[in-house]
């Protein structure tokens, strides 16, 4: 607005326009345009809420359960979750990471007393560095 007033003063003082009415019209249009730009810059984007007032849909039943994975064989886990996004062998154990919809599921496979390789440890990690570590059951339920 101050810029428009300054330009207005210069235009009228210097007689840049021969017709003062035309000069005033240009200045009014400039002021109105500047006001609209400043008002738009200060506005916020409204949060969209569904018409029925309900929030985001939550699954009625969990996608995965801890009992489905705990103690399971590598083949059973791959059948349930698909191939791991990252797999690394270390000694007798194997580290596997599965990227789910809201988190990364980390499964450590290790031979049990009978020598069969099973899921010995299950944990979660955030998909994005710096995000909080998600709860295991919440991660599994979201799938």
Which residue has tokens 């002021």? 31
CA angle centred on 122, ends 106 and 114, rounded to 5°: 115
How many domains would you assign to the chain? 2
- Confidence label for 1 from pLDDT (cuts 50, 70 and 90): very low
Structure tokens at 83: 């191939």
Q: Is the pLDDT of residue 98 over 70?
A: yes
Residue 140 near residue 67, CB atoms below 8 Å: no
Q: Is the pLDDT of residue 60 over 80?
A: no
Q: Note whether residue 49 is domain-resident.
A: no
Structure tokens at 85: 């996004």
Q: What is the mean pLDDT of the chain?
A: 75
Do 11 and 71 lie in one domain? The reply is: no
**What CATH number is associated with residue 111?**
3.30.1450
The whole domain housing 126 covers 66-142
The pTM of this model reads 0.57
What is the DSSP-derived secondary structure letter of residue 74?
H
Contacts of 35 (CB under 8 A, 6+ apart): 1
Question: CA-CA distance, 9 to 94, in Å (whole number)?
Answer: 77
């Amino acid at each position: 607005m101050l810029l428009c007033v300054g330009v207005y003063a210069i235009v009228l003082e210097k007689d840049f326009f021969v017709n003062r009415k035309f000069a005033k019209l240009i200045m009014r249009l400039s002021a109105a345009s500047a006001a609209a730009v400043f008002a738009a810059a200060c506005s916020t984007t409204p949060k969209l809420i569904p018409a029925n007032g309900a929030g985001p849909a939550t699954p009625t039943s969990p996608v995965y359960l801890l009992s489905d994975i705990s103690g399971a064989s590598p083949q059973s886990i791959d059948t349930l979750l698909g191939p791991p996004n990252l797999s690394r062998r270390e000694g007798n154990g194997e580290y596997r990471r599965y990227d789910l919809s809201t988190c990364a599921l980390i499964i450590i496979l290790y031979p049990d007393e009978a020598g069969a390789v099973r899921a010995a440890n299950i944990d979660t990690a955030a998909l994005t560095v710096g995000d909080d570590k998600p709860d295991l059951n919440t991660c599994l339920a979201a799938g």
